[in-house]
Amino acid sequence: MKIYCLEVTGDFACFTRPEMKVERVSYDTITPSAARAVFEAILWKPAIRWRVTKIEVLKSIRWISLRRNEVGAVVSVSNVKSAMNKGSGDLALYVEDERQQRAGLFLRDVAYRIHAGFELCDSSGHKSNFPHLVKHPINDADEQRAADEANTLPKFMSMFERRARKGQCVNQPYLGCREFACDFRLVEGGSAESPPIAESRDLGWMLHDLNFANPVDPKPRFFRAELKGGVLLVPDWNDPKVRG
């Protein structure tokens, strides 16, 4: 498995701790699942699965407390289905009625180097789980030719490298919350890079990723995270250290 490295930077970040039920409180660093999402924003296919191996923290861990307005409801699924069947319906969500003001403890001025690789996986369940994405149109000629080829590692490696070098992405990568967008660049071998921060600390139990074996009810898995010299090593999904 070839390992790629992305440097991501952003003004704010929030990797919410699941034990905080009301107010948003971030982990001290980016979580493996959030790091995986950055790679998937550049290239995601049903036939590949990204695995984050290492996270380097490039800037000191700094905090900021903010109070934000959030919406405490979502549009009803039954209303959406009814509107689809009838051709019309009430899909409005009135912000004034659902607004909630909440405080949050977020990270600020963050920068990470995240290392990850991908492997081929069984994509047979994609059509049944996500039928609306199966025939998503492809506009780029190179992407269309790549889609017509067999699923091979060189094919997807070429696609990712081309996109990452050009700064292309399917959706804007973000750091925990969609409003906290981030910039990224592909770190190539041989380039001189700044070292991670000289800090070590026990980060406690951290979310590793979600087990989507049952798409309706994904289960979280955790691992004991430890920052050593600014580097967080991420155990493999099947490692005994990862519990869920």
Residue by residue, pLDDT tens for the chain (244 residues) are: 899 999 999 999 999 999 887 788 999 999 999 999 999 999 998 889 999 999 999 999 999 999 888 888 888 888 888 888 888 887 888 888 888 888 899 999 999 999 999 998 876 665 555 555 555 555 556 555 555 567 888 889 999 999 999 999 999 999 999 999 999 999 987 667 899 999 999 999 999 999 988 878 889 999 999 999 999 999 999 999 999 8
- Gap between the Cα atoms of 205 and 244, Å rounded: 11
Is 34 exposed, middle or buried, given 0-12, 13-18 or 19+ CB atoms closer than 10 A?
A: buried
CB 53 within 8 A of CB 147: no
pTM: 0.82
- Gap between the Cα atoms of 37 and 188, Å rounded: 20
